[in-house]
A and B are shown apart, each in its own frame.
Chain A
Amino acid sequence: MSKKDTPQFPRGLDRFALERRRFLSEGALYGAGAASILAELGLSRYAIAKSDPPAGNGGPVPRPGPGPGLAPMPPEPAVSQPAPLHDLRGKVAYVTASSDGIGLGIARAASNAGMKVCIGYRNEERLKAALPLFKPGNAGVFPIKHDVTARGGWEEVLEQIKNKYGRLHLVVNNAGSKLRAKVSNAKPDEWDNAVAVNYTATYNSVAVCLPHMLEHGEGSHIVVTSSMSGLLPGGNLGVYTATKIAAVGLIEALRIELEGTTVGTSAFVPGGVNTDNYIGTGEENPFRAGQQRPPGAPPLPPGPPPGMDPLEAGERVLNGVINNDLFIVTHPEYMPGTQKRFDAMLASEPVGEAIPAGRALAEARVLHAGIYRREIEHRKKSRKSFRSVTV
């Protein structure tokens, strides 16, 4: 969808302001006819009560049109947002913290896919070790020293990328705090730093890069490297899991906001990958090439490195980008646990209580987020591969 297809609203009135006004005016027009309203909302099983006063004639309540002075709501899309960045060749990617670990894997995969890759780094030594891993003959590689919590730094980064390559198409918010602390005993600065890196940095990237992406109008994409801890907070890593859950939530919110634009959104939620931040434990990965075991470290288990190769993780991220997957899941072994989490949430709803129909109607606009319905349909399509970087 090109930029000019985005629905236009009156000046000073965002989409939500319209929703809000319509919300209240419709709510005022209804107020009775519980059964038919709940049925219309797909909530018939809750219509067990004498919740509302009887309607005037008991008949079905007609849905009113928009109130006076209200523009009609934009129609709900039938299918999920088409992948804005489906052809990676020649496009420009910026991957934060990509001198090592998963970030390096994503950067290498992007480079192998023909992208120009800007490498965010902080440690010179790691960068020097990383650069030879990019294949000679690939498109350009451009290192940029960057602390993702510095907002001025983001603006400088964008300027540098624009000067070097003209446009930026893919931002991967990969930098993460590996702090292994509980919420209940983290120090204030530890907490603040984890929130700044794992959560707010993604907002920073959007604040700075999104206007540029919308302006150049070519398909673009925003990815955050969260973690399976962002879907399943096991392992007593409270600060890490809480901020990773937050990062997933931010991407979901951005999908809702950007669905009608040329910018796609994905949350990458890996499990064990062979990096320094091995399986989110903060422990040094014993299998990292060239690493010496620190004295006193537990003995290595026999066999090959058990996690996913970072390059494979990177390819799976790009596969998610070109398919515009909302959630890029790579480690299915976590999903039974995740399902239990969701089941526990659903089992927490009160049993056997009626819903006042007027309330359900007033909430109708927020009872479903259409992105999930569309994502379910998107996921039901067959896919040849979850690693290939070409559609």
Chain B
Amino acid sequence: MTHKDNSHVSFGRRQFLGTSVGVGFGAGGLLASLGLSGCTTGRGEAAVAGNTAPGTAGGSSATTTPQTVADAAKVVAQSSAAAPPIPSRALPPEPTVAQPAPLKDLHGKVAYISAASDGIGLGIARACSNAGMIVVLGYRNEERLQAALPLFTQGNPGVMPFKHDVTDRPGWAQLIEQVKAKYGKLHLVVNNAGIKTLRQAKDAKYDEWDNAVAVNFTAIYNSVAACLPHMIEHGEGGHFVTTASMGGLLPGVNAGVYTSTKIAAVGIMEALRVELEGTNIGTSVFCPGAVNTDNYVGTGTENPYRAAHARPGGGGGPPRLPMGMDPLEAGERVLNGVVNNDLFILSHPEFSPGMKERFDAIMLSTPRIEEPIPAPRIGYERVVLRCGIYEREMLHRRAKRVDYRSVKV
């Protein structure tokens, strides 16, 4: 199936319609108010999907059942049969466009990147520095830091190293204090530190699991708890980025501790977008595939192509070419995502067919509708049924973009 093949979408719609037409007028009105009335029934298509039993798409009552949700919406508009509003569930008005990028102009702004002495973090930090940002480098290993510092271009704005374990909450508070003391404000937080364990979830020891959850998931919460109040307070616009992984969208690597915590990292950034959409704090999750780092292609094997590092043992074996993305390019793509306030920063499109398989598997898990969905249930679920960030993100993605690396809007 290609990306343009929407058969999975229409399958979901068919099932949905099979339901809603049986529900009656109240549901039709609710569906219309949820923006779902554009779905059209496809009685003739019903046999295509394996789960859909013949005859379920049309509902049971032939005389009163509208053929489409749009029809049902019209009937509702002519009657007063719509479900009464529920006072405790009044919904605030929904924005029509995606949150404008709060951090459009990077020049002179201050960035903190955790685990930036190496790998993707170093690439992001170098890209920030090249874009005119003041960069605070989170690090734990002195040697790596010393090797990293000369890679920053001479004449760029300041670079301040900060020794930091991201699982340490007081450390986050100290970070904010030090950044405020030295540079006044913090604008961009990149949660880049990650545990690269290849443990399967079924084999992981307690401390391995706890450490992976603490670094790959809870550290993001820690950063928000420590930095968000400051970013809201200074009011200049801020942005949170998390370096997750393609494993966070497609858990193809057989390493459950890693993939499951990365899926979690994607989820927390989506939740934050929902929460912070109305503020001047942006949110992005970066899901790279292969980048030429120590954590090469998520294998945990040292990347033999890493610049400035000889191969272990001084060589042997055939020469190898770098196959992944350069970390600096990855960093530039992250910043492009920041200045555009992309919710998902993807850089490796070769994963999308596999992602689509995952999504299709989830969509196809929708059961055949045996009984109509009660309209009041939909009424009560409205608060969670409506998650407008994705619709707005799709509109945002349809806007023309010159490129995915430039840090200028």
Which residue numbers of A lie inside 8 Å of B, CB to CB? 14-17, 19-20, 23-24, 27-28, 31, 41-43, 45-46, 151, 182-184, 186, 188, 191-192, 195, 199-200, 203, 206-207, 210, 228-239, 241-246, 248-250, 252-254, 256-258, 271-272, 278-281, 283, 298-299, 301-304, 306-308, 316, 325-351, 353, 355-356, 358-363, 365-369, 371-373, 375-376, 379-383, 385-387
Contacts and interface: CB of A to CB of B under 8 A. Distances in A.
A385 B200 CA distance: 34
20 contacts: A27-B323, A183-B271, A184-B272, A203-B201, A233-B274, A238-B268, A252-B358, A253-B200, A257-B201, A257-B202, A304-B376, A325-B365, A329-B362, A330-B367, A332-B12, A332-B366, A344-B389, A346-B359, A355-B348, A376-B357
B385 interface: yes
Contacts of B86: 298, 301
Q: Pick from B84, B318, B374, B377 the residue with the most CB of A within 10 Å.
A: B377
B323 A359 contact: yes
B367 A386 contact: yes
Interface string B331-363: 000000000001111111111111111111111
Interface in B230-281: 246-257, 259-264, 266-268, 270-272, 274-276
A304 B299 CA distance: 54
B352 A346 contact: yes
Interface stretch (B119-127, B150-158, B220-228, B307-315): B220-228
B357 A345 contact: no
A27 B319 CA distance: 12
A234 B384 contact: yes
B206 A151 contact: yes
Interface of B: 2-3, 8-9, 12-13, 15-16, 19-20, 36, 39, 49-51, 53, 83-84, 86-88, 169, 198, 200-204, 206, 209-210, 213, 217-218, 221-222, 224-225, 228, 246-257, 259-264, 266-268, 270-272, 274-276, 289-290, 297-301, 304, 317-318, 320-321, 323-325, 342-370, 373-374, 376-381, 383-387, 389-391, 393-394, 397-398, 401, 404
A387 B274 CA distance: 34
A385 B53 CA distance: 10
A363 B297 contact: yes
Nearest to A19: B254
Contact of B16 (A186, A188, A335): A335
A376 B360 contact: yes
Contact of B397 (A278, A328, A344, A372): A344
B368 A386 contact: yes
Question: Would you call the interface of chain A mostly helix, strand, loop, or mixed?
Answer: helix
Q: Pick from A19, A186, A349 the residue with the most CB of B within 10 Å.
A: A349
Given A24-B301, A46-B350, A369-B357, 18 more contacts: A14-B203, A17-B198, A20-B198, A232-B385, A256-B256, A279-B383, A298-B88, A299-B87, A304-B376, A306-B377, A306-B379, A336-B39, A337-B387, A344-B390, A347-B397, A351-B401, A367-B351, A375-B361
B360 A366 contact: no
B228 A184 contact: yes
A185 to B, nearest CB: 8
Nearest to A240: B271
Question: Would you call the interface of chain B mostly helix, strand, loop, or mixed?
Answer: helix
Contacts of A361: 323
A358 B385 contact: no
B322 to A, nearest CB: 9
Contacts of A20: 198, 299-301
A353 B325 CA distance: 13
Given A20-B300, A183-B268, A206-B202, A383 B51 contact: yes
B267 A246 contact: yes
Given A184-B224, A257-B202, A306 B51 contact: no
B342 A348 contact: yes
A356 B321 CA distance: 12
Contact of B263 (A245, A299, A381): A245
A334 B381 contact: yes
